[in-house]
Each structure stands twice: as C-alpha cells, then as structure tokens.
C-alpha cells in the first residue's frame, strides 16, 4: 500500500501534473486579485468562445467554452490563466505571462497588442492524448465598450521537422472588472 502511494506521488510529479499545478496556482492568484477590494482597469474576466480552424474544421469544434483571468497592465508584465474545452472536446488548461502595448485609437476602435508565452495543456492532434507545450501569446485586443474587449489571437500553420498544426483564429470576450 505504501509503495502504491509513493508511486502515485511520483506520477503527480510529471511535467503535465507540474503544468496543471502551476496553472492552478496562477488561477488562485488571479481570483485572489479578483476578490481584492482594489480592482484595476487591467483586470479582466475572460470567456473563451471560438476557435476557427482554416483546415479540417469539420473534425473540430468551433465553440470552445471556458473561463479565465487576465491581468494585463499597459507597458508592464501581466499574467493570464484559465481553462476551456479544446477543439476536440478535451479539457484544456493554460497559464502564462504577457506584456501589453499602450492603447491606440484606430478610427473609432481602441486597439492594443499583447505578446507573451503560455504553458498550454490540451489535445493538440486528433486521436492523441493531451500534452503540454509552451506556445506564443500574440493578441490584438479590440475595445468594444468601456468594459468589454475582444481578444483576437491565433496560430499559423506549421509544417516543420515532422510537426504539423492547423491555422487557427481564437476569439475571447473579456470583461473589465473595475
């Protein structure tokens, strides 16, 4: 019995388990920030909504519901954490860091860009197990109202060294909690 417990503890130390623990830790930090009486204009409740695939869309789900938190102060480092259903229906977890530019007015739209890195645990390929990868975090943020924001992000098609992935456009709706 003791040996089984020790083996289970070792299994929990895998990179995937470590990534999940890191994301959970970041989510706790985010929700502590949310519960703080000092909410800022940089705190957002994030609703993951769509993943639009440019190839094999009939084999993937476009609706990818989820919830997360983003802290993205202008010209400073912030963080983002959350969970969502991925395009194959698997539960995905993400967490990472971001840096946001200053907001600019483009016509009537308020726009800013975010760059960063994300630890992402999800099912990346059809009929394969979920795995954890570090992926880039490029985002164009479009202000819809004073509190509502649309994040537009994505990943390009990659066909390199035996790795292949589909071009995807991600949409997230964000609500400023201030």
pTM (predicted TM-score): 0.74
Other C-beta atoms lying within 10 Å of the C-beta of residue 154: 15
Q: Give residue 26's pLDDT.
A: 61
Q: How many Å apart are CA 85 and CA 49, to the nearest integer?
A: 10
Fold classification of 2-176 is Porin (2.40.160)
- Local confidence pLDDT in tens for the 178 residues of the chain: 444 443 333 344 455 665 566 566 666 665 655 555 555 778 999 999 899 988 888 888 999 999 999 999 999 999 999 999 999 999 999 999 999 999 999 888 899 999 999 999 998 888 889 999 888 889 999 999 989 999 999 877 766 666 666 788 999 999 998 8
Q: Can you give the residue ranges of every domain in the chain?
A: 2-176
Phi, psi dihedrals of residue 33, rounded to the nearest 5°:
-60, -40
Q: Give residue 12's pLDDT.
A: 42
Degrees, nearest 5: CA angle 74-75-81: 65
Q: Give residue 4's pLDDT.
A: 42
Q: Give residue 17's pLDDT.
A: 60
Q: Give residue 32's pLDDT.
A: 56
Contact 87, 61 (CB under 8 A): yes
Q: Give residue 104's pLDDT.
A: 94
Q: Give residue 166's pLDDT.
A: 74
The upper half-sphere exposure of residue 21, i.e. CA atoms within 13 Å in the direction of its Cβ, equals: 7
- What is the per-residue burial (b if ≥16 Cβ within 10 Å, else e) of 124-137? beeeeebebeebeb
Q: Give residue 69's pLDDT.
A: 93
Q: Show the tokens assigned to 7.
A: 């083996």
Q: How many Å apart are CA 147 and CA 115, to the nearest integer?
A: 21
Q: Give residue 14's pLDDT.
A: 56
């Amino acid at each position: 019995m003791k040996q089984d417990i020790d083996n289970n503890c070792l299994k929990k130390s895998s990179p995937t388990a470590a990534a999940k623990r890191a994301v959970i830790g970041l989510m706790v930090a985010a929700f502590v920030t949310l519960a703080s009486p000092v909410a800022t204009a940089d705190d957002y409740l994030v609703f993951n909504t769509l993943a639009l695939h440019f190839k094999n869309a009939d084999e993937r789900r476009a609706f990818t519901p989820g919830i997360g938190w983003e802290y993205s102060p202008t010209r400073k480092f912030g963080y983002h954490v959350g969970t969502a259903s991925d395009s194959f229906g698997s539960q995905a977890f993400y967490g990472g860091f971001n840096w946001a530019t200053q907001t600019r007015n483009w016509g009537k739209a308020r726009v800013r860009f975010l760059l960063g890195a994300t630890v992402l645990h999800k099912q990346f390929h059809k009929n394969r197990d979920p795995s954890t990868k570090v992926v880039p975090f490029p985002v164009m943020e479009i202000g819809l109202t004073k509190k509502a924001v649309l994040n537009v992000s994505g990943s390009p098609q990659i066909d390199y060294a035996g790795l292949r992935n589909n071009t995807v456009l991600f949409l997230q709706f964000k609500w400023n909690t201030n």
